[in-house]
Amino acid sequence: MKKAIALLLAVMLTACLFAGCNNTTSSSDPKAPTSDTSNGQTSTPASEPVDEAISERVELRLFAIDNSPNDEKLSEEFWEILNGILLDRLNCTIKYEYVEGNDPTGQYEMALASNQDYDLMHASAGFNYTSVAARGAFMDITDLLPTYAPDLYNLVTPERWEEAKVNGRIYGVPNLGKLYTSHCFMYREDLRKKYNCEPITDLDTMGAYLQAIVDNEPGLIPTDDQAGPLFRRAFQYTNNYALLDNSMNFVIDPTDPRKVLNAYEQPDYLEYLKLAKEWFDNGYWTSNVLSSKEWGVNSVINGKAAASFTQQFPWYAWHPNYIESNNPGWEIKYFQFISLSDDAFIAAKPATENMLAVAQNAKNPERALMVLNLIQTDEELWRLCTYGLEGKNYELTEDGKIDTTKFGDDARFNYFPVDLITNANFELTPVDQWDEYDELYDVILDHAQDTYPLNAFAPNTTGAIEPLYTAINQIRVEYAYPLQAGMIDDVEAGYEDLIKRLNDAGIEEVRLELERQVNEYLDNIGYKG
């Protein structure tokens, strides 16, 4: 009944949009990301600068980290159609420059170092948006947005714009929707059943499953992830921490957000190092875990591994059906790490999770924002950029769902960086949506907190603490990672050495500075806790 009601409302919404209704209406599906609505700002830009901005035909350069097209011919056809529309409406075209590989962060840094004149560029917290913007790699678009992207400017909420700011200025355009992401243990349910393992509900049953793989499947690696991710996921969620920095040097107890905690000195840290040592000795991952660049999920997909600690839901909710359709007899399951604790904390991803920015040297920033404004707010164009070509990449069912099952893997659309233009109002439900999607999303909603006051906070690790923070991260890679991967024989001695090195490097000085920043931020937003 819940799905039927959501579907009916979605169809009504679509009809409304095509009838010319305001497209700021939020999605009625409780499982969909929460769509941003009008921010209350009324900006009516003069038409003269907009008209003048499109008088000259230009080619925009779009850069994103993404996979190469599954079908080159279909990709060429897509770009011909999209560029035809853009040429007609905004007198421009796009040249899409994608980069793929096993080292996306390194490749992204190389692109930044080259000082290319990208008009639209992938930007995200994962690629250190805040520090990249602070060092001047992105253009300040604060004053351009009301004129050249007025619809987006009004659709994104003030809170989301605040999250996108660096030193009070905007350098990236957020998606039109909030996203919750749950980290999961992905595994072969068919193998769990085959070896009569208990259903996976905690770390003990997880370990029993991996032991069954070691004992019975000599040609299969239990897990093939990099850098010992079991520790990062299990430690974070069983202790209900929110991460302060991406490196997980510092964490926050959401019930006391004014206190910055040194993650390495938390009570259970050593216990998890001991668990990692036990699991490594049992053979649950290989000795190249620290040098591997592999995303462990790919190893499951390719039949190389039986599980991965690095799956993400709902981003990859399509994986189970995809894998099972290509491997008859397989059954894929996800165990969410937030299920390890009733009090596990999960916050909506910040606006900086996936954005598009304008490079500092961009030649056509105004046109770039106009294109982004058009794609994000025009349903037909957004559908083209998100789902591809109707009849070649997908079909629509009579009840308004999207069906890609008839077109094969090569026709699966990946010609445009769709994660950077999400709009929950326009999303369609896949006809083959995983039958466990609703149940897993309900688990997320049970733990989700929209009111976490530090969701928009970004630590500033430049200035006086920059060399200290750099040293801490070097120690983390050289000494903490081997411990977290279970590769140090004497765990307690290794832990004591790690703590000494971190203290000598100035971790307490960094912690105090970040705590000062946190409290200053909370005071500025009027937080009373």
Q: CA triplet 47, 49, 55: central angle to 5 degrees?
A: 100
Answer whether 10's CB lies under 8 Å from 400's CB: yes
Answer whether 371's CB lies under 8 Å from 86's CB: yes
**Separation CA 204–CA 184 (nearest Å):** 16
Contacts of 286 (CB under 8 A, 6+ apart): 221, 224, 292
Phi first, then psi: give them for residue 520, nearest 5 degrees.
-65, -45
Per-residue confidence in pLDDT tens, the chain, 529 aa: 333 333 333 333 333 333 333 333 223 233 333 334 344 443 444 456 778 889 999 999 999 988 888 899 999 999 999 999 999 999 999 999 988 777 888 888 898 999 999 999 999 988 888 889 988 999 999 999 999 999 999 999 888 898 888 888 999 999 887 778 899 999 999 999 999 999 999 999 999 999 999 999 999 999 999 877 787 788 888 888 888 988 889 999 999 999 999 999 998 899 999 999 999 999 999 998 888 888 899 999 999 999 999 999 998 998 999 999 999 999 999 999 999 998 888 887 788 888 999 999 999 999 999 999 999 999 999 999 999 999 999 999 999 999 998 898 888 899 999 989 989 889 999 998 999 999 999 999 888 876 788 877 878 898 999 999 999 999 999 999 999 999 999 999 999 999 999 999 999 999 999 999 999 989 887 888 7
Distance of CA 1 to the CA centre of its chain: 30
DSSP code, position 464 = G
33-178+351-427 classified as CATH 3.40.190.10: yes
Query: Do you find a cis peptide bond into 482, omega within 30 degrees of 0?
Result: no
Query: How far lies 88's CA from each of 55, 57, 81, 387, 475, in Å?
Result: 12, 10, 11, 21, 55
- And the tokens for 489? 């024989």
pTM reported for the whole predicted model: 0.69
| Three-state secondary-structure class, residue 144 | coil
Q: Return the domain boundaries, the chain.
A: 33-178+351-427
- And the tokens for 43? 């900006």
Distance of CA 412 to the CA centre of its chain: 20
Answer whether 43's CB lies under 8 Å from 101's CB: no
